[in-house]
Amino acid sequence: MSIALKQVFNKDKTFRPKRRFEPGTQRFELHKRAQASLNSGVDLKAAVQLPNGEDLNDWVAVHVVDFFNRINLIYGTICEFCTERTCPMMSGGPKYEYRWQDDLKYKKPTALPAPQYMNLLMDWIEVQINNEDIFPTSVGVPFPKNFLQICKKILCRLFRVFVHVYIHHFDRIIIMGAEAHVNTCYKHFYYFVTELNVIDRKELEPLKEMTTRMCH
């Protein structure tokens, strides 16, 4: 990795603090295994497949947290160029507009500038993954019955970050020399969500042409 790229992806650029897995837990071991597969250069399609004998919820939890951390980092590299002036709407080109809705302030889907949307999104995900009732860290504590549904919503919203970055800010990623890193993160994410069918196919439409070139 070049010095310039190391500067791009240094820890100071991380958009949010990382959620880590406690050593000694099953999830920490799964996290290590997933990271080892990626670092060994194994085929990304193979790396995302649920290992034999492992729990699906654990596997999804590990990847949701990892993708949250990685996508935070990617957005953190371009967030100074993503302003209310440059991006007055959270969108993916002229055809796709993303509106924010939560159970707190925004009861109805609301059009927002991209940086405000991103902040709300990352806050919302951070609350989910740090909630012990949703992402339990203690051994033997079960996941909630709606865990996969929650993760599907998280992954769907994280995909929108990729859409916005690729369509509106990829020139900055190229200038930083980080396109190979971002493309690898995207391919890893794409293979995971399609392998486990945890994202609605219509959500993938904005990057369909690029994905076809990159992943098929």
Q: Tell me how far apart the alpha carbons of residues 156 and 57 are, in angstroms, rounded to a whole number.
A: 17
Q: How confident is the model at residue 150 (pLDDT cuts 50, 70, 90)?
A: very high
DSSP codes of every residue in 47-90:
HTSPPTT--HHHHHHHHHHHHHHHHHHHHHHHGGG--TTT-SS-
Residue 31, annotated as binding a ligand: no
Distant-in-sequence, close-in-space partners of 4: CB < 8 Å, separation ≥ 6? 176, 177
Q: Examine the pLDDT at 159 and tell me if it is beyond 70.
A: yes
Instruction: Evaluate whether the domain defined by 26-215 bears CATH number 1.20.140.30.
Output: yes
- The whole-number pLDDT of residue 29 equals 54
Q: Please choose, from the candidates 156, 161, 154, 163, the residue with its C-alpha nearest in 3D space to the C-alpha of residue 96.
A: 163
Q: How confident is the model at residue 148 (pLDDT cuts 50, 70, 90)?
A: very high
Residue 82, annotated as binding a ligand: yes
Identify whether the C-beta of residue 166 lies closer than 8 Å to the C-beta of residue 209: no
**pLDDT, tens digit, 9 for 90 and up, residues 161-193:** 999 999 999 999 999 888 888 998 999 999 999
Residue 169, annotated as binding a ligand: yes
Q: How confident is the model at residue 141 (pLDDT cuts 50, 70, 90)?
A: confident
Domain ranges of the chain: 26-215
Residue 164, annotated as binding a ligand: yes
Q: Examine the pLDDT at 38 and tell me if it is beyond 70.
A: no
Q: Examine the pLDDT at 106 and tell me if it is beyond 90.
A: yes
- The whole-number pLDDT of residue 140 equals 80
Q: Examine the pLDDT at 22 and tell me if it is beyond 80.
A: no
Mean pLDDT of all residues belonging to the chain: 84
Q: Which residue has the higher pLDDT, 108 or 15?
A: 108
Q: How confident is the model at residue 5 (pLDDT cuts 50, 70, 90)?
A: very low
Q: How confident is the model at residue 35 (pLDDT cuts 50, 70, 90)?
A: low
Q: How far apart are the first and last CA of the chain?
A: 26
For the chain, the residue count is 216
Q: Please choose, from the candidates 119, 131, 191, 109, the residue with its C-alpha nearest in 3D space to the C-alpha of residue 155.
A: 191
Q: Examine the pLDDT at 31 and tell me if it is beyond 60.
A: no
